[in-house]
Amino acid sequence: MAEWVRFGISALFAAVGIFAFISAAVGAFRLDYVLSRMHATALADTVGIGAIAISAAIAAGVDFVTLKLLFSAAAMVLTSPVSTHMLAELEYRTGDELYKHVKFKVGKKWERLK
């Protein structure tokens, strides 16, 4: 019975990870603006890899492999948002289409500048 519970939880985390990867892949090809595409692909690296690593760790049990897996997943979750942040900074500083897609705060209202 305990084996099936462990299998179920592991499969649940793996399904979440696979859904994150599929939505990131679809978003990278179908979205229009570059910041939207970055928002989609950042999801793949953090949520996707984290969920699949947790699922593999639960399926493997208490072993030395689990420690290595969690450590590599932690390194990935730590560094991937930094790379997305740098790309978004570059786009913010040098992008031409920023004003068409982003709303800014004018006084008390958020509105899209022309």
Partner 1 sequence: MKKPKTQPETAKSSGTAASSIKKWLDFDLDIDSLPVPPPRESAEDDGGDETPLLSRIPKSAPRFVYTALAAICSIVLTATLILTVEGMPRYGEDQDYMDTVTYEYITHGMEYTGAVNIVAGIILEYRAFDTLGESFVLFCAVTCVLVLLRADSADSQPEDVVFRDLSHDAILRRTVRAIVPLVFMFGVYVLLNGHLSPGGGFSGGAVIGAGLVMVSAAYGGDVSGRIVSERVFKIVTTCALSFYCLGKSYTFFTGANGLHSIVGNGTPGDILSAGLILPLNVAVGMVVACTVYGIYRMFDKRSF
Q: With left for phi above 0 and alpha for psi between -120 and 50, is residue 107 left, alpha or beta? A: left
Taking the least distance from each CB to partner 1, the nearer of 36 and 84 is 84
Residue 97 sits in the site that holds partner 1 (CB under 8 A): no
- Count Cβ atoms below 10 Å from residue 37 Cβ, excluding itself: 17
As given in the structure block, the two tokens for residue 102 are: 């982003």
Q: Which residues in the 6-65 window bind partner 1 by CB under 8 A? A: none
What minimum distance in Å lies between the beta carbon of 93 and partner 1? 4
What minimum distance in Å lies between the beta carbon of 91 and partner 1? 11
Q: Where are the alpha helices (DSSP H) in 31-109?
A: 34-43, 49-60, 64-94, 98-101
Binding mask 65-84 toward partner 1 (x if CB under 8 A, else -) reads ----------x--xx--x--
